[in-house]
Chain A
Amino acid sequence: MALIRRLRNLFRRDHLRDEIDDELQAHIAMRTDDNIACGMRPDEARRDALVRFGNRTSTREQVTAADAVLSLEGMVREVRYALRQLWKSPGFTITAAATIALGIGANTAIFSSMDAVVLRPLAVPALDRVVVVTEQDQRGPRQATLANYEDWKRQSAAFEEMAVRTEAGMSLTGAGDAANVQAALTSASFFPVLRVQALLGRVYDESECQPGRDAVVVLSYGFWRRQFAGDPNAVGRKVVLAERTYTVIGVLPRTVQYPSDADVFLPLAPTPQQLADRVGRNYIAMARLRDGVTVKQAQAEMRIVGERLATMYPAVNQGMSVRVEPLLDDINGDLTPLYYKLVMGATLFVLLVVCANVANLQFARGISRRPEIAMRAALGASRMRLMRQLLTENLLLGLIGGVGGIAVGAVYLHFTLLAMPPRVARYLAGWSNISLNGRALGFSLALAVVAGVVSGFMPALDALRVNLTEQLKAGSRSTTGSGHARRLRSIFAAAQIAFAVALVIGAALMAKGMTAMLHLPDTFAPEKALTFVVELPEARYGTPREQAVWYASSVERLRALPGVTHVAVTTSLPYSDDTWMTDFEIENRTYVPGKLQNAQRIAVSEDYFAAMKIPIVEGRSFTASDTADSVPVALVSRGFVQRYFAGASPLGHRIRLRRPEVRTPWLTVVGIAQETNYSLWDESHPAVVYMSTAQLPLSFATYVVRTEGAPMALAVSARRALAALDPSLPVDGEMSMAQRLNENLVGLEYVAVMLGIDALIALLLAAIGIFGVMAALVSERTREVGVRLAMGARRRDILAMILRRASWLTGAGLATGLVMAFALAKLTANLLRGVRPDDPVVFVSITAAIAAIALGASWIPARHAARIDPMRALRSE
C-alpha cells in the first residue's frame, strides 16, 4: 500500500512539492494571525512565527525525504553535488579513479579470459548437461571401444542422446599448400548432443554415417577462416582429405570449437566389423543427460552397465569401470582452472590493495573536508544525509574508475590475446571466445560498486565523526586527523604491504620455477636444432616398410644440406609430454594381466642419441645394420633396467609390446640409454623403450635437424629437400627445438606474467600507500616536531622517530604478508616442479627488498620532518 502511494507520487511530484510549501506557509500564516490577534505588531508577529517554526529548509527537506520520488530527485541532486565535489579536487579524483581503473582493468581482463576458457568454453545450450563417458582401469581413464559404446547406448536410460567420436590426422590437398589437418570423426548424434547448428550450410545426419555415403565434411570456424579465407561460398566445394574427395556441407559457429584442435568434422561410418570391435580403444563417448537426471545418477547407472559388460567380456573389459564426468571438466582438465583461480585470486587481492589505497586517499581528503562537512551539519543535514552524500561520491568515483577499468581491461586483454601463439591457442577450447562481453562488463560494474563502497565506507564514517563546535571554532586551519582515522590508515597501509609481500613472493617463486623449467632442456642445446613434424598419409605410406624407406631417405637428404651436423627422427622430443605408455612383456617371465608393467614407447632413427647428446651407457645404439630384415632390436632407459631388471643387465633379453590391435615382434634389448625425461611435469621418470624407425616406424614423427648456425635459416632448404622426395607431403610447425619446448610452458608463462603484473601493481600501490600515511603523519605532527626541535632535539632524532614509526608499519605488514606468502607458495609449489614453498633465498631477498622500498618511501616524509624549521612550524599554528 505504502509503495503504491509512493509510486503514485512519482507522477505528481511538482504538485507534491508545491503542496508541502503551501502547508508550511499556511502554518506560519496561522501562527502570525494568532500573534497579531494577541496584539503583536505584524513584523514582530511574523518573526515570532518563523522562530517557533524552526529551520524551514531543513523541515522541507525532511518532509520531502518521506516521499519516494522526491528522495529520488534528491539523489540526482546528490549525484550532481558529488560530481561537483570530485571536479573541485581533480588531483584526488584522477589519482583515485586511475588507481581503481588499474585494479578493475586487471580483474576485467582476467575474468574475461577465465569466463571464456574455463567457465563457458563452448557456447552451447545447457553445457552442464553434457557428459563424457570413459572407461577407467588402474592406469587411469581409457578411451572406449566401439562395441562397448554400442552396448552403453542400448543399455542406458540416463541419456537423451549419445554420441561417439574419434580423431585422425589427415593430409589436405587441393586447397593451397599440402597441410596436415586434424579431423574429428563423429557420429551424426554428435551435433544434437551439443545442440549445435551449422553457421553455414548444414551438419551431416544419420544417413551419411554409412560406409560409402560419408564423403561429406563440416568445417570448424577457425579452419574455414584459415584455409578458405572465410569464403561464404565454401559450402559445396570439394576438398581432398587423405586422398579422398569430400564435399563441404557446412561450417560450425566460432563459439563452438570442440574438440578444440579439430579442423574438420567427418561422419564416423563404421563397418559391421568395427562396430563389433571390443579391442581398439580409440573412441570418446559423449552424451546429453535426460531432463532431471543428475551426473551422479547417470554414473550409478553406467557403473552397473559397465559391471555387466565386464562379466560378459572378461578378456577385454575386466578391471574396467565406466566413468561419467561433465564435459566441462573434461575440456578444462586439472591445471587450467587452477591457474585461473590462482591468477584471479591474486588479482582480486590487487583490487583490495587498490581499495586500501583509495581509502587512504579518502582519509587524507576527509581532513581537508572537515569544514565543509561541519558547515553542512550545522545547516541541518542529518548524519544519514551526509553519509549518503559521501557514499554517493565514492560510488561515482568507483564507477568512473570502473569505466576507466574497462578501457584498461580491453588493452590488457588485447595484449593477452596477441601474446598467445596460435599453435597453443588451438588447444584451448574457449580461447577464440574471449571478448569483453556483457558478463565481463557486469563483473566490472559490480567490482566498481564494491570498490567504491569498500574504499569509501570507513573514511566516510570517520568524516562524520566531526566535532561541530570544535571544528567551526578552529575554522579551516586545523589539519589534524582523528586518532581513530590515523589508526585505520596505518592498518590499511600495513595491509597493503602485507598483500604486496604475498603477491611478490608468489610471483617470484613462480618466475623462479618457470625459469628453472625453461632451462631444463638446455642439455639438449635446443636453440641449435630445427624441428618440424611430418605425418605420413596412410594411402601412400600404409606399411611399416614404406614408412621406414621414407624416414631413411628423408634423413639422408636433410643430412646432405650444408650446415647440418645431425639429422634424427623421433616420435617424441624430451620434455614434450606427448609419449604413449604401452604395456609390455618380458620373455620367459609370466605376464600377469592387470599388473602394471608399462613403458613409454618411442621410435627413433639411428642418429637420435648422437643428435640429442644422450649417452649410451651400456651396449650399442641403433646402427645402419638394423633394418626391416634384421632381428628387431630395442634400447631401454636406465630407469627401465632398475624397475624391471632390478639393476641386472637386460642386454640380450627379449621384450614385446602388448598392443591389443596388432601383434608386435619380440625385440632384443641391445643397449641402455641415459635417463631422459619426456615430461616437463611428471618427475617420476617412467621407463622408456626405444625402437628403430627402420624396423618399427610410426606414421608420424618429429624431425630434429642439428645445425651449426641459426636453425630457422635452414627451414626453407629443408622443406625444399623434402618436397623433392614427395611434393604432396605436408611439413608442419617449423621452429627451433627451444621454441617447441617452450610452447609446453605457455600456460605457466601466462600465470607467471600475470602474477608478476599483479605483484608490481601491488608493490607500487603499497609504496605509495606507506608514503601517503607517513606524509600525513609528518604534516600532522609538524607542530610537535617544531616543539621538539625548539627544545633541543637533533634532526637525526626526528628522522629516527619518524622512521621508527614507519618500521612498525612495515614490520607489521611484512609479518602478515609472510604468513600469506607461505600459503600462496604452497599453492604455487603444486603447479610447478622445483618450487620449494619455503625457498629461503626468495623469501629473504624479497622481504628485504620490500622493507627497503617501504622505508625508502617513508624516507622522503621523514627527511621532510627533519628539515622542519621550528620557528615557522610554531608560528603557523
Chain B
Amino acid sequence: MAKNDLQGTLDLLVLKTLAQNGALHGYGIVLHIQNASGELLRVEEGSLYPALHRMEQSGWVVSEWAMTETNRRAKYYRLTAQGRRHLQQAEESFDQLVKGVRAVLRYA
C-alpha cells in the first residue's frame, strides 16, 4: 500500500522543487510550484511554512538567511542528503498511489 496523504504530497512538492532548483526561499518555492504545475496547483502560501520548519527539524532541509535579487532578507532552504533519500522514497510511494488510483478509475 502506498503511504501517502495531503501532507505527504506537499512535502513531496517542496522537496522536489528544492531538488530541481537548489536553494530557494519560501516565496520562491510557492512560485515554482505554481509555474511548474501550469497554475493547476495553488498552495495556500502560509501553509508552506509549517511544512518547511517540520522538514528542517527532521533534517531533510537546511536553511540560511541571504539577500534576494530585490535586496530583501529571506530565508533560503536547501536539500540535505537525508532529504534527497526521503524524496526518492516519497516519489516512489507517490507513483504507486497514482498508479493505484488510476487503475481503480479505469476499472470497467
User: Hey, which bits of chain A sit against chain B, CB under 8 A?
Assistant: 1-2, 5-6, 19-20, 22-24, 26-27, 29-31, 33, 52-56, 58-59, 62-63, 65-67
Contact = CB atoms under 8 A, between A and B. Distances in A.
A31 B26 CA distance: 11
Instruction: Give the secondary structure class of B's interface.
Output: helix
Interface string B62-96: 00000010101111000000000000000000000
B47 interface: yes
Given A2-B58, A23-B26, A23-B75, 9 more contacts: A2-B59, A6-B57, A26-B75, A27-B74, A33-B72, A54-B44, A54-B46, A55-B46, A67-B53
B75 to A, nearest CB: 5
B65 to A, nearest CB: 8
Contacts of B45: 27, 31, 52-54
B99 interface: no
A59 B45 CA distance: 10
A66 B59 contact: no
A29 B46 contact: no
27 contacts: A1-B59, A2-B57, A2-B58, A5-B57, A6-B57, A20-B53, A26-B25, A26-B72, A26-B73, A26-B75, A27-B25, A27-B26, A30-B72, A31-B27, A31-B45, A33-B72, A53-B44, A53-B46, A54-B45, A54-B47, A55-B46, A59-B46, A63-B50, A65-B50, A66-B53, A66-B54, A66-B56
A2 B59 CA distance: 7
Nearest to B75: A23
Contacts of B58: 2
Given A2-B59, A19-B75, A26-B75, A66 B50 contact: yes
B57 A23 contact: no
Given A1-B59, A54-B47, A59-B50, A22 B73 contact: yes
B39 to A, nearest CB: 13
Contacts of A66: 50, 53-54, 56-57
Nearest to B26: A27
B70 A30 contact: yes
A17 to B, nearest CB: 12
A29 B71 CA distance: 12
Nearest to B54: A66
A29 B57 CA distance: 26
A56 B53 contact: no
B17 to A, nearest CB: 15
Nearest to A30: B27
Interface of B: 25-27, 30, 44-47, 49-50, 53-54, 56-59, 68, 70, 72-75
Contacts of B59: 1-2, 5
B49 A23 contact: yes
A19 B73 CA distance: 11
Please provide the 10 A-B residue pairs with the shortest distance between their CB atoms, ordered closest to farther: A62-B50, A59-B46, A54-B46, A66-B53, A54-B44, A30-B27, A53-B46, A66-B54, A26-B74, A53-B45
Contacts of A20: 49, 53
Contacts of B27: 26-27, 30-31
A20 B70 CA distance: 20
Contacts of B70: 30, 33
B50 A30 contact: no
Contacts of B74: 23, 26-27, 30
Contacts of A23: 26, 49, 74-75
Nearest to B82: A1
A33 B28 CA distance: 13
B50 A67 contact: no
A42 to B, nearest CB: 15
B75 A56 contact: no
B8 to A, nearest CB: 16
A30 B28 CA distance: 9
Most buried by A among B26, B27, B75: B27
A2 B83 CA distance: 13
A53 B25 CA distance: 15
Contacts of B72: 26, 29-30, 33
A24 B56 CA distance: 16
A1 B59 CA distance: 8
A78 to B, nearest CB: 19
A30 B31 CA distance: 11
A53 B26 CA distance: 11
Nearest to B70: A33
B58 to A, nearest CB: 6
Contacts of A65: 50
B33 to A, nearest CB: 13
A62 B72 CA distance: 24
Contacts of A22: 73, 75
Most buried by A among B45, B72, B74, B75: B45
A30 B25 CA distance: 10
Contacts of B46: 24, 53-56, 58-59
B57 A59 contact: no
A276 B49 CA distance: 89
A54 to B, nearest CB: 4
Contacts of A27: 25-27, 30, 45, 49, 74
Nearest to A61: B50
Nearest to A26: B74
B2 to A, nearest CB: 25
Contacts of B56: 66
A67 B70 CA distance: 30
A56 B25 CA distance: 18
Contacts of A63: 49-50, 53
A58 B45 CA distance: 13
Contacts of A1: 59
Contacts of A24: 46, 49
Contacts of B53: 20, 63, 66-67
Contacts of B73: 22, 26
Contacts of B54: 66
Contacts of B68: 30
A802 B54 CA distance: 54
Contacts of B30: 27
A661 B58 CA distance: 82
A870 B53 CA distance: 59
Contacts of A62: 49-50
A62 B50 CA distance: 6
Contacts of A31: 27, 45
A59 B48 CA distance: 9
Contacts of A59: 46-47, 49-50
B57 A67 contact: yes
A31 B54 CA distance: 23
Most buried by A among B44, B53, B68, B73: B53
A749 B56 CA distance: 65
Nearest to A16: B53
Most buried by B among A1, A5, A63: A63
B81 to A, nearest CB: 12
Contacts of B25: 26-27, 30
A385 to B, nearest CB: 13
B62 to A, nearest CB: 10
Most buried by B among A19, A26, A27: A27
Most buried by A among B46, B54, B72, B73: B46
A57 to B, nearest CB: 10
Nearest to B50: A62
Contacts of B57: 2, 5-6, 66-67
Most buried by A among B25, B47, B49, B58: B49
Contacts of A26: 25, 27, 72-75
A20 B65 CA distance: 12
A606 B2 CA distance: 97
A104 B75 CA distance: 53
A52 B43 CA distance: 9
B25 to A, nearest CB: 7
A26 B73 CA distance: 7
